[in-house]
Chain A
Amino acid sequence: MEAFEYASPHTTESALKLLGGRWGETEILAGGTDLISAMKDRVTTPKRVVNLKKIKGLKRIEYSAHSGLRMGALVTIQDLLDNKVAREHYPALAQAADGIRGEQMRHMGTVGGELLQRPRCWYFRNGYGLLAQYQGKSLVPDGQNRYHAILGNSGPAYFVNASSLAPILIALGGKARLHGPEGEREVELRKFYTTPMKEEDREYVLKPNEILTEILVPPDKGGKMAVYEVREKTALDWPLVAASVVLHLSGGTVRSARVVLGHVAPVPWPVPEAGQALEGKAVTEEIADQAGKAAVSKATPLSQNGYKVRLAHIAVKRAILSAVKGEA
């Protein structure tokens, strides 16, 4: 790891004053599992690290029927799993958190860090940059791309967003609250992630001198929800694909449906096509399967990851069926 300056401010305001205006100059430290690993791999070499753990206000988690769930960015995965109210109102959020293994990661990992984790792409982690460039072209299309994107992969980015929580939070209509030098702003999570076009870009709209302070999730109004992950290992491992589903039913038919895929594209990938396939219909296995097919209808797999198209299709189907059965 390169040497760096370190600060551990007690307030968000003082933290903001420590941040630089360019990515990579400063990095924000929360749980540390991703940032410190990335720094050891020299994926990022900040000159200054700003630790947020001493900011008490970022660790709150609260729910009200009126405004829904508010989670400070430093709420840990374990805090979230332990929060009965959150589990009760957003069972699929707890389900997504439960996919994060094991206890160490749950105690260290924070909600904010989970949402802002950098891609796992092995070209990125091995030093070839976010766009995996080598001699002027991406290594991914002709390289080892079994874990890469099947959607939103027309380039130049081919990695997948690695967050387990983002897809369900997007399906639930969640927002991110960001603090910057000019004050606060709220961004819908579905608009929070962006596909980088240049090597210097990041994977989200957060600016280098801003801090993600809170996640807001609107109150749930009788939605049925579930997350379904397909993974190689039950132990610590990122899913191959995941589907998050929030359905609203009236009289046995689907009134509205939000389906968001994870680990398939450089950003969490909402699939309105899947929702449309469900709306106005009673959920059967066949209808769920059609929604799954619709979800991947625009998939453009690379040389080795066609199987992920199938997995995404199945994950959507199973998430829908699980949501309807209330399994989350």
Chain B
Amino acid sequence: MATCKYDWPEAGGRELVGKRIDRIDGPEKASGRAKYTYDTHRPGLLIAKLLTCPYAHAKIKSIDISPAQSLPGVKAVLVIQDAGSEIQWAGDEIVAVAAVNEDIAEDARRRIKVEYEQLPHLVREEDLERAQANGRTKPAGEETVGDPNKAFQDPDVVISKGFYGIPVITHCCLEAHGNVAEWTDAKTLKTWSSTQNVSGLPGQIGAGLRRQKVNVDDSNIETVCQYIGGGFGSKVFSRPWGIVAAQLAKMAGKPVKLMLDRDAELEIAGARPSAFAKISVAAKKDGTLAAWDSESWGTGGVGPAGHPPLPYVLQPPNTHWKHTMVAANIGPSRAWRAPNHPQGCLLTMGALDDLAAKLEMDPVEFLMKNVHLAPKLLTKIYSEELQKAAELAEWKKNWHPRGDKTPGHTKRGMGVSLHTWGGRGHTSTCNVIVRPDGSVTVRLGSQDLGTGTRTVIAISVAETFGLPVEAVKVEIGDSKYPPDGASGGSTTVGGVSASTRRGAVDALGELFAAVAPSLGVPPDQLEAHLGLIRVKGDASKSLTWKQACSKLGVKTIQTTGRNPGPCHLNDSGVGGVQIADVSVDTETGQVKVNRMVAAQDCGLIIDLKTAESQVYGALIMGICYSLFEEKIMDETLGQMLNPNMEFYKLAGIGDIGELVVHMMTGPGYDERGVIGLGEPPVISPGAAISNAVANAIGVRVPTLPLTPDRVLAALDKGGLA
């Protein structure tokens, strides 16, 4: 392949790309100096609180805000939804109050009187027949490929039937959703927002304000987010509370901070749709998949929500799926890291694992046998990853047919799963600035969710310029910078690495042009390497970076880099394989993860250290939702019972076992260019752990999380009790 001028350097020519490099904002975060939205202070800042609806379904009869307004210290009270509005979930915002401090805002909120007429609700959806009887279901798609009926009737196939499920979970961002809004003059708004979408937010806030009859031009709104305490997909869009802070600030003539309380954060700021399915799957006796049939349902609130792709990744020749959406009165769904995939993965890989057990086949061999049913690109990747993961997990030594037959009540099991994701780089624009003193700035309206975006940008530019990472000043997190895409769907690293590479290559070209006369060669004979601008093939002719930049005289180089753009810098479509090694106490039902192994591809890796961190983090997040997490709703009250971090359980440092991460790199991977990594590794843990538990105890625990009650219930139905 002919080289293209923006191409990433060849393997031998990379000084930084692909190495383990510390995240550049690590010291700011580790020292507590990093300022988040929640930490923002402004002169005269007011604190706002939301009064929300206690009922899952109700009509507002009346609202009296006067007792709140009359409380000294209260500066603005805003009715968000007025009498007559129909409320569809507990926690929906009704009134907002801004006061001189949080305690007074809280006192004021409690003085507001709202009368409701309660309406019938449904908040628990796992029982589909009950939801149907309540008229709460709606078809959400059905598809048939081939002739599944016939395929299931083939006398030569082995059929496995089962029920699988994964409940609604929440995002539980540690930094609650919210923002600070300040009108710097009558027409100009500045917000400090906890957002995954710095460049996109002003437009959203502007539209929201105009709907509320607050006249403002998008161009007069600036959004800032230097640090964000978690998003995971839930902070891409501005929600009503984002608009409300600006409205209150307008009313009060003072800056307003509105951060959700922890209970609201868990009730309304994010939910991953549930998925339950009755699945039949058939294979020939040699293990080749023949047919799939699934009837699935789930909820993501009262509105439409995504549904799992079924069957996931591996497509037998004959398939039928049908999905039903349940309209439940819970806070609306938001994109949760790899939307729809963890659900699709658990349902599919669980069903395939049960089929492999029925066939008495080793599940790794079973998947190997069927990877040809994956999209062509992935077949080879999966084969390599299955091999690698099996080797790292010592699969051959540790795996046994279903049901650990060793004596004692601790049973060990191994489970495997595979997943995929797109992750093509998003639209990105950046400025690369090189000044005559040699300083380098790269500027773009992106944001770093903790994935290492700043570091990746610095590496991309530093690699191009032959400079150390510290030489590049990265400016992100402000909507006044060149627009960049939202950080969602693993699109950021692919986008920003490519735009900054292009911007930096162009800037270097301009620098070469300025320097070439002094080195007596045409610009195309120059290269940047280890802090020098030198003549290719003649190391004696060189200038230091600083000397070279001084040749610019009074001129500052500023280029604009874009993605998409010329040359193949990024791609889409990754594969990953994970293996879980667990122990189950069959007397108590406790599941302990001994070890998780992940083999993951993401094309060309920019920073191996932060890439590995994404996978470690995803495994841990996966352990959380496999073993602990569940949005627990009470049907009588229509309320979430665990909107706190005691009962909305997240794993602690002792709950994670040993983690092994292997990034697939080198030939076959690197030349694909950069592909996003945020989503894929969080997809498989549920299936891998569930399969490992089934392998240990000899029976499927149908639904996550794998808590003692569920494990013991499954053992009671069969297995090794």
Contact = CB atoms under 8 A, between A and B. Distances in A.
Q: Do chains A and B touch in the complex (CB under 8 A)?
A: yes
Interface of A: 1, 3, 101-102, 120, 122-123, 125-126, 134, 139, 142-144, 146, 230-237, 240, 304-305, 307, 310-311, 314
B557 interface: no
A199 B708 CA distance: 32
Decide if the interface of chain A is mainly helix, strand, loop or mixed: loop
Contacts of A237: 646, 649, 652
Contact of B707 (A1, A144, A232, A310): A232
A230 B709 CA distance: 12
A240 B711 CA distance: 14
26 contacts: A1-B103, A1-B106, A3-B107, A102-B652, A120-B646, A122-B632, A123-B641, A125-B644, A134-B636, A134-B637, A144-B632, A230-B588, A231-B590, A232-B590, A232-B628, A232-B707, A233-B628, A233-B652, A233-B655, A234-B652, A235-B654, A236-B652, A237-B649, A307-B708, A311-B589, A314-B587
Contact of A144 (B107, B589, B627, B641): B641
B712 A307 contact: yes
B214 interface: no
B637 A233 contact: no
Interface string B632-650: 1011110101101011010
B634 A233 contact: no
Contact of A307 (B641, B642, B649, B709): B709
B653 interface: yes
B659 to A, nearest CB: 16
A157 to B, nearest CB: 18
Nearest to B261: A40
B433 to A, nearest CB: 46
A225 to B, nearest CB: 21
Contacts of B251: none
B131 interface: no
CB-CB nearest 3 A-B residue pairs: A235-B652, A234-B654, A307-B709
B608 interface: no
B651 interface: yes
A101 B654 CA distance: 11
B655 A235 contact: yes
Interface in B547-594: 587-590
B119 interface: no
A125 B645 CA distance: 13
B354 to A, nearest CB: 23
Nearest to B587: A314
A126 B651 contact: no
B713 interface: yes
Interface of B: 103, 106-107, 587-590, 627-628, 632, 634-637, 639, 641-642, 644, 646-647, 649, 651-655, 707-709, 712-713
Nearest to A234: B654
Nearest to B632: A144
Q: Which of A120, A123, A232, A310 has the largest number of chain B CB atoms within 10 A? A: A232
A139 B712 contact: no
B114 to A, nearest CB: 16
B103 A233 contact: no
Q: Which of B106, B642, B652, B653 has the largest number of chain A CB atoms within 10 A? A: B652
A234 B655 contact: yes
A311 B586 CA distance: 11
A234 B649 CA distance: 11
Contacts of A233: 628, 649, 651-652, 654-655
Contacts of A1: 103, 106
Nearest to A125: B644
Nearest to A127: B54
Given A3-B103, A122-B641, A144 B634 contact: yes
A122 B636 contact: no
Contact of A310 (B107, B587, B634): B587
Contacts of B708: 230, 232, 240, 307, 311
B655 A311 contact: no
Nearest to A142: B636
Contacts of B709: 146, 304-305, 307
A143 B637 CA distance: 9
A126 B641 contact: yes
Contacts of A240: 708
Contact of A230 (B590, B646, B647): B590
B647 A122 contact: yes
A126 B637 CA distance: 11
A307 B721 CA distance: 13
B128 to A, nearest CB: 20
Nearest to A311: B588
B523 to A, nearest CB: 59
A101 to B, nearest CB: 8
A119 to B, nearest CB: 12
A310 B590 CA distance: 12
Given A142-B636, A143-B634, A240-B708, A235 B653 contact: yes
Contacts of A234: 652, 654-655
A72 B57 CA distance: 50
A307 B634 CA distance: 20
A26 B651 CA distance: 36
Contacts of A311: 588-589, 708
A123 B589 CA distance: 25
Nearest to B644: A125
A314 B654 contact: no
A232 B588 contact: no
A310 B655 contact: no
B280 to A, nearest CB: 29
Nearest to B652: A235
B699 to A, nearest CB: 15
Contact of A139 (B588, B634, B644): B634
Given A240-B708, A307-B708, A310-B587, A235 B651 contact: yes
A235 B632 CA distance: 20
A143 B636 contact: yes
A102 B654 CA distance: 11
Contacts of B707: 232
Contacts of A236: 646, 652
Q: Which of B642, B654, B655, B708 has the largest number of chain A CB atoms within 10 A? A: B708
B588 A314 contact: yes
B639 to A, nearest CB: 7
A261 B106 CA distance: 40
Contacts of B107: 3
Nearest to A238: B646
A139 B637 contact: yes
A307 B707 CA distance: 11
Contacts of A101: 652
B127 to A, nearest CB: 14
A258 to B, nearest CB: 23
Nearest to A139: B636
Given A122-B642, A237-B646, 7 more contacts: A122-B632, A134-B637, A143-B634, A146-B709, A232-B628, A237-B652, A304-B709
A310 B708 CA distance: 10
A230 B711 CA distance: 14
Contact of A126 (B627, B639, B649): B639
A307 B652 contact: no
Contacts of B590: 230-232
B649 A232 contact: yes
Nearest to A146: B709
A231 B709 CA distance: 12
A311 B715 CA distance: 14
A236 to B, nearest CB: 7
A307 B632 contact: no
B357 to A, nearest CB: 25
Contacts of B652: 101-102, 233-237
A152 B628 CA distance: 28
A232 B706 CA distance: 10
Nearest to A304: B709
Contacts of A122: 632, 641-642, 647
Nearest to B708: A307
A286 B644 CA distance: 41
Nearest to A318: B587
